[in-house]
Structure 1
Amino acid sequence: LANFSFLEICYVNSDVPNMLANFLSQTKTISFARCLLQLYFFFSLGTTECLFLSIMAYDRFLAICRPLHYPTVMTIKFCSSLVIFCWVYGFLWFLIPVVRVTQLPFCGPNVIDDFLCDLGPLLDLASACVPIPGTVLMCGTMSSLLIFATFFYIIGSYTLVLRAVMQVPSVAGRKKAFSTCSSHLAVVFLFYGSVMMTYVSPGTGQAESMQKFTTLFYSVLTPLFN
């Protein structure tokens, strides 16, 4: 939980300071290097959050469905390994797509119609110069794979948890189990709901304007709620 709280602080700080500076500035400009750094940290921290939410679901699954195995499995060493895995893998997952973005041509006018340097607007700018189907396919595949794999893992874990909770004979025991899981599930649906609206829903017409607000929601408001 301490690592998750620290992650949320970093997540907000990766985009909010520059966003506030743009609101207060007349020029509203950002250098190419700063834009790429914001993109890398924004997506890396988002990937890390997906992994943290997954291991939190695994922790709840063990605690409720395998309570006798929990003390022997979730040792300090194993927990530390999971935390290190989340941070390292989170910052490696989108490294290659960001490197590919640095090699794309941007012929201008380089105007990003968004609150931050998001992947979609940057790919739109580059594709206005030359076709980049390979880069778009790679970024879309990696984003979808991460989002859906972790989301369905969490849903699968909580399906097993729910089945185990319903078999608890006492009402007090069921309420206690539900109370430990409800807050985590609320975080999961807030985060994944807004992420899927941004990166999975179509990006045309009115949906494009809606995507800007969902980007703002999951990058700023969701971490604050957490």
Structure 2
Amino acid sequence: MAEKDERYYKAYMEHKTISRRGLFRAFTSGTKKASADISSATSSSRSLPKSGEAVPADQDLVTELVDASQVVRVVARPPGAIEEVLFQKICTGCTECESSCPEKIIHIESGLAQLDIDYGYCSMCGECQKVCPTGALHAKKPCDKQNDTELRPNFNTNCQNRLFGECELCAEQCPHQAIAIAALSLPKLDQVKCDGCSRCKQACPFSVITMGLSSH
């Protein structure tokens, strides 16, 4: 099992181009936390090659193990969270991200870091990523979006702009101009521009915006 974990982390980290520092921290700290669900799922998949046999390409190995685990993110994680299958193994619930969050929207639930934006928004400051000791929260390359909570707003049909018009509060507060407003219509969201910060939800005085995990 130890060999499988090590090869899996190595393949995944290299495929996702996570830094050497993050890889080192993941090996030394994160691997101490095992997930019973993932272990059970991966043990039923095709076993890794024995000594002397050919080793499949890193990408193929990662795909095989991720598919076998079938771990789906059902709760929001702090921005920069790696894929759920690995996040559950690496996050130790150390509370460093929770303590460093200036908005106080990160909490530890069931031993894992979780994002709670019911009464706040994410400022995308990156502090949680800076203090994460295992690499479970990791900023991407500069050319990519640095942060994304994977949350997206859903606009209720009771939206004031749809019913009466002249309400653009959600669009005005969006830092990425991801929300477009047309007369007497529900707001339109640009999924690519949106980073799930939840500023739109907090800006709506009528509570017609809910945030849900995106499948994109």
Output the TM-score relative to the length of structure 1. Answer: 0.23
Higher strand share: 2
Q: Which has the higher helix share?
A: 1
Where relative contact order (Cα < 8 A, 6+ residues apart) is larger, the structure is 1
